Amino acid sequence: MKEIVVISGKGGTGKTSLSASFAYLEGSNTLVCDCDVDAANMHLLLDADFSQKEDFFSGEVAFIDEDLCTNCGECKDVCRFDAIHVEDGQHRVDPISCEGCWYCSRVCPTKAISMNTQKAGDLFVSNIKQNSKMVHAKLGFAAENSGKLVAKVKKTGAELAKEIGVDYIITDGSPGIGCPVISSLSGANLVVLVTEATVSGLHDLQRVEKLVKTFSLKAVCIINKFDLNEKMSHDIEEYLDKEGIEVVAKLPYDETFTKALAIAKPIVEYDKNAKLSSLVIKAWKKIKQKAN
């Protein structure tokens, strides 16, 4: 079993549309993980049925029992997150600022502060198009710990993939270079970097590629909208060549992409005969070869 993680650094490059297309092509031989838990979208393209739901608990928040509290202010003094405020003479916790470090609770002389586990989101296992399954999640509003939720999605996905016995896990990664992305990348057999031929596309690709390199992961790249700026596309290819990363597809700026998205279908399902689709099909073949 091989895990293929699709990431992009920059948002809006077509990462999710492409991941969904690969999943659609491979069908029941694959399990899909959506690790963009902040703003998950894969479920829209693959008709997820949200059949199993599990609460995700992570992190803790301090709570002050006002009957026990003497308002001595010790908690406020030690808090480095500015999470304890005095309202009408009473010390209270701002749950959004609280990091759940327990320091206040440990120093409170009257043991008035308890730590409550927070529900940070929902984890789902869904049946999707092409008789396949997907693990995805929804982070609670204004909740933290998205990195941990990503790790949970990946762990659940890996167990389920083993149980069903699929050959591929396709993971739609999170944007950026921080903790959720690092979490998405763990255990990847191949990373697919999706970029676009724009100045920001190149800039973000370079940052995310360096990150992939620090984890010694094997990677390939897809350049989307390459004809938007052929010089930029050339610069990107030159950079990738230097880094020893193969370009498995160069996709043109094509309204098919947006049209498929507008009715929530993977490109290869929307019009399997479109030129764009044939390029995506070829790319998926190359990706599989590279992963094995």
CB 21, CB 280: distance < 8 Å: yes
CB 198, CB 167: distance < 8 Å: no
**Distance (Å, rounded) from C-alpha 12 to C-alpha 20?**
14
CB 188, CB 3: distance < 8 Å: yes
Nearer to another protein, 85 or 282 (CB): 85
CB of 67 to another protein, least distance (A): 25
Nearer to another protein, 80 or 242 (CB): 80
**CA atoms within 13 A of residue 21's CA, in its CB half-sphere:** 27
Nearer to another protein, 80 or 165 (CB): 80
CB of 79 to another protein, least distance (A): 8
**Distance (Å, rounded) from C-alpha 158 to C-alpha 138?**
18
CB of 52 to another protein, least distance (A): 20
Nearer to another protein, 46 or 291 (CB): 46
- For binding to another protein (CB under 8 A), which residues are involved? 9-13, 16, 38-41, 44, 60, 78, 80-82, 85, 96-97, 99-103, 106-107, 139, 141-144, 146-147, 175-179, 181-182, 196-201, 203-204, 207-208, 210-211, 214, 225, 228-229, 232, 253, 258, 261-264
**Looking at the chain, how many residues does it have?**
292
Nearer to another protein, 160 or 182 (CB): 182
CB of 168 to another protein, least distance (A): 24
Nearer to another protein, 110 or 289 (CB): 110
Residue position matching structure tokens 């297309």: 21
CB 9, CB 194: distance < 8 Å: no
Pairing relationship of beta strands 113-128 and 132-139 according to DSSP bridges: antiparallel
Residues 6 or more apart whose CB falls under 8 angstroms from that of 100 comprise 59, 60, 61, 62, 115, 118
CB of 130 to another protein, least distance (A): 19
Nearer to another protein, 106 or 285 (CB): 106
CB of 146 to another protein, least distance (A): 5
CB of 2 to another protein, least distance (A): 25
**Distance (Å, rounded) from C-alpha 194 to C-alpha 221?**
6
CB 26, CB 212: distance < 8 Å: no
